[in-house]
């Protein structure tokens, strides 16, 4: 194990510099017309609240495995970072796929679950202002929207095993040391637009890399028309959606 008790955890190192920032950190555009601007302070609060929920209610800790079939979305990004605050592994799976032996399953569509009865389920409504999940939940499932706001907006982080797996998907596996490696995404400088045409397992490393380089991100749901007005209004400098 590569635990350095004198250093910050990877997520803490990423978010601590923007914890009190009121400048845009992650701006979300959805096909429904939502525009959600999260400052560094607000995004850090969401990650901290989510980490506290996962730790206090689900005993998530280093070595735990969290599967998700959520789409690329600002909430799925915040939840992934919350899992990494705790040293857990995030496993991206296709909707309707049995994730196997995991501790928690996070989904935006609990009606398509393919998990055994021992897996804890968290249902996440995607609308930004949703105060509760809109629809019937499976017995025992936790409604993320109605629960997360009651948790503390700061997280007391602990050192983690940075050699452990942080992200697993059909595309491969990344350890914490690989995912949070120093250096920004090649060619990115300034506010960067990323499209959710990329799957979550590709979005997550890209955003971590961009934020490591101090680049604000505009995350645009696939299908949203990217206009010159949008680009100019958000002061976009780099577009990763134009890459293959």
- Residues 133/125, Cβ–Cβ less than 8 Å: yes
- Residues 3 and 234: their CA atoms lie apart, in Å, by 39
CA separation for the pair 179, 170 (Å, rounded):
16
SS3 state at 97: coil
pTM of the predicted protein model: 0.93
CB 35, CB 28: distance < 8 Å: yes
Strand ranges for 155-207 from DSSP E: 165-169, 172-175, 192-195
| Residue 117 pLDDT class (50, 70, 90 cuts) | low
- Model confidence over 215-244: pLDDT tens digits? 999 999 999 999 999 999 999 999 987 654
Query: Percent helix, strand, coil in the chain (nearest 5)?
Result: 30, 20, 50
117 φ/ψ sector (left φ>0, alpha ψ -120 to 50, else beta): alpha
* Per-residue pLDDT, 185: 57
pLDDT tens sequence across 120-147: 999 999 998 899 998 888 888 899 999 9
Phi, psi of 56 (to 5 degrees): -80, -35
* Listed range (96-105, 191-200, 207-216) with the worst mean pLDDT: 96-105
Average pLDDT, the chain: 90
Token reading at 194 = 């990323």
Token duo for residue 54: 């996962």
């Amino acid at each position: 194990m590569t635990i350095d008790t004198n250093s910050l955890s990877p997520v803490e190192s990423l978010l601590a510099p923007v914890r009190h920032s009121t400048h845009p950190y992650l701006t979300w555009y959805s096909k429904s017309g939502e525009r959600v601007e999260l400052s560094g302070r607000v995004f850090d609060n969401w990650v901290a609240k989510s980490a506290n929920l996962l730790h206090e209610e689900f005993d998530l800790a280093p070595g735990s495995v969290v599967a998700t079939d959520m789409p690329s979305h600002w909430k799925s990004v915040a939840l992934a970072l919350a899992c990494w605050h705790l040293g857990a592994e995030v496993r991206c799976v296709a909707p309707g796929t049995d994730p196997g032996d995991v501790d928690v399953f996070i989904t935006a569509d609990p009606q398509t679950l393919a998990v055994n009865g021992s897996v804890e389920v968290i249902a996440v409504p995607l609308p930004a202002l949703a105060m509760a999940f809109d629809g019937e939940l499976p017995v025992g499932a936790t409604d993320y929207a109605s629960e997360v706001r009651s948790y503390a907006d700061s997280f007391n982080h602990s050192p983690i095993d940075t050699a452990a797996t942080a992200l697993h998907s059909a595309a491969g596996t990344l350890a914490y040391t690989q995912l949070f490696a120093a250096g920004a995404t090649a060619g990115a400088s300034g506010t960067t637009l990323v499209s959710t045409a990329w799957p979550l397992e590709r979005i997550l490393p890209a955003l971590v890399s961009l934020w490591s380089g101090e680049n604000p991100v505009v995350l645009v749901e696939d299908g949203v028309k990217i206009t010159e007005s949008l680009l100019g209004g958000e002061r976009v400098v780099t577009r990763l959606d134009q890459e293959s």
